[in-house]
């Protein structure tokens, strides 16, 4: 059993260069790290060569889901990924210890889970929780978020001390058994950016009866930037477009 990591860069050259754990992952015999460059940065290609990352470059900018699907197909066709292997989405702004990541894979395999996530924080001291696990959203949840800054769909992670099933988790860290990602057909590429992670978790539950396993004992740092909260930015427009697509596809209420 091997771990294949999908690291997608949308202009995140400096974040990737500054992440000192990535080169350690790339040299581990149990890991294959694939860097997918959405822009085609010469400097990032040279960095990948220097550290021994597999490198892919999009011919034109595509969305988050499409890039991860491209990495998955590359892992199957070129790197020999098998059904029992694991496929991990790792954001450029996510910092995780190599040993911790491999322990997560072992724990998920032992639990015979087909996809999982872990406990993310926004600081190195692990004092500021990242709201990376949530219940499936309703339209009212988003309205409260925009108007009040509230997040009623988020779980209170301080109350969760044992592994359990949750609704969905941020694509900053998601771990799939390779055969399950294939069964899902990967991400719905109609979501250019945002809510593709909600969609894939919902399809897993509703189409295959598979619930997302949350492992609170494993921690990592997510230096999230929340670009979608900047009103009238292109990220905000992408977010609104994805929100409309999500509710047209799944309905307005929580499942």
Summarize pLDDT for 77-91 with one digit per residue, the tens. 999 999 999 999 999
Secondary structure of residue 223 in the 3-state scheme? coil
Q: Which residues, listed in sequence order, are joined to residue 169 by a DSSP beta bridge?
A: 133
Q: 221 — phi, psi (to 5°)?
A: -105, 130
Q: Over pLDDT 90: what percentage of the chain?
A: 78
In terms of DSSP bridges, do strands 86-90 and 173-177 run parallel, antiparallel, or are they unpaired? antiparallel
Please, which pLDDT band fits residue 249 given cuts at 50, 70 and 90? very high
Checking if the pLDDT of 167 tops 90, the result is yes
Q: What is the DSSP letter of 179?
A: H
Task: Specify the range with the lowest mean pLDDT, choosing from 41-55, 137-151, 239-253.
Answer: 137-151
Say if CB 44 and CB 37 are below 8 A apart.
yes
In terms of DSSP bridges, do strands 168-169 and 133-134 run parallel, antiparallel, or are they unpaired? antiparallel
Instruction: Please report the pLDDT score of residue 107 as a whole number.
Output: 97
Instruction: Please report the pLDDT score of residue 254 as a whole number.
Output: 77
Instruction: Please report the pLDDT score of residue 226 as a whole number.
Output: 53
**How far is residue 213's CA from residue 111's CA, in Å, rounded to a whole number?**
9
Neighbours of 224 (CB within 10 A): 16
Instruction: Please report the pLDDT score of residue 240 as a whole number.
Output: 86
């Amino acid at each position: 059993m091997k771990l294949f990591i999908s690291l997608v860069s949308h202009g995140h050259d400096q974040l990737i260069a500054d992440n000192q754990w990535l080169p350690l992952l790339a040299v581990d015999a149990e890991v294959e790290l694939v860097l997918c460059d959405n822009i085609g940065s010469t400097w990032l290609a040279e960095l990948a060569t220097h550290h021994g990352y597999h490198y892919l470059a999009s011919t034109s900018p595509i969305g988050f889901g499409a890039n991860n699907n491209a990495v998955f197909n590359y892992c199957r066709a070129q790197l020999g990924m098998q059904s029992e292997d694991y496929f991990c989405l790792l954001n450029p702004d996510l910092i995780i210890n190599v040993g911790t990541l491999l322990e997560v894979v072992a724990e998920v395999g032992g639990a015979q889970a087909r996809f999982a996530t872990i406990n993310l924080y926004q600081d190195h001291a692990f004092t500021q929780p990242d709201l990376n696990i949530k219940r499936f959203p309703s339209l009212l949840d988003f309205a409260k978020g925009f108007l009040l800054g509230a997040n009623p769909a988020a779980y209170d992670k301080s109350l969760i001390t044992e592994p359990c099933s949750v609704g969905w988790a941020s694509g900053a860290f998601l771990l799939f058994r390779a055969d399950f990602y294939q069964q899902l057909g990967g991400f719905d590429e109609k979501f250019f950016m945002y809510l593709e992670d909600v969609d894939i978790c919902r399809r897993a539950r509703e189409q295959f009866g598979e619930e997302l396993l949350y492992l609170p004992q494993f921690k990592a740092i997510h230096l999230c930037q929340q670009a979608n909260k900047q009103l009238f930015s292109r990220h905000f427009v992408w977010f609104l477009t994805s929100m409309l697509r999500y509710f047209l596809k799944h309905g307005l209420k929580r499942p």
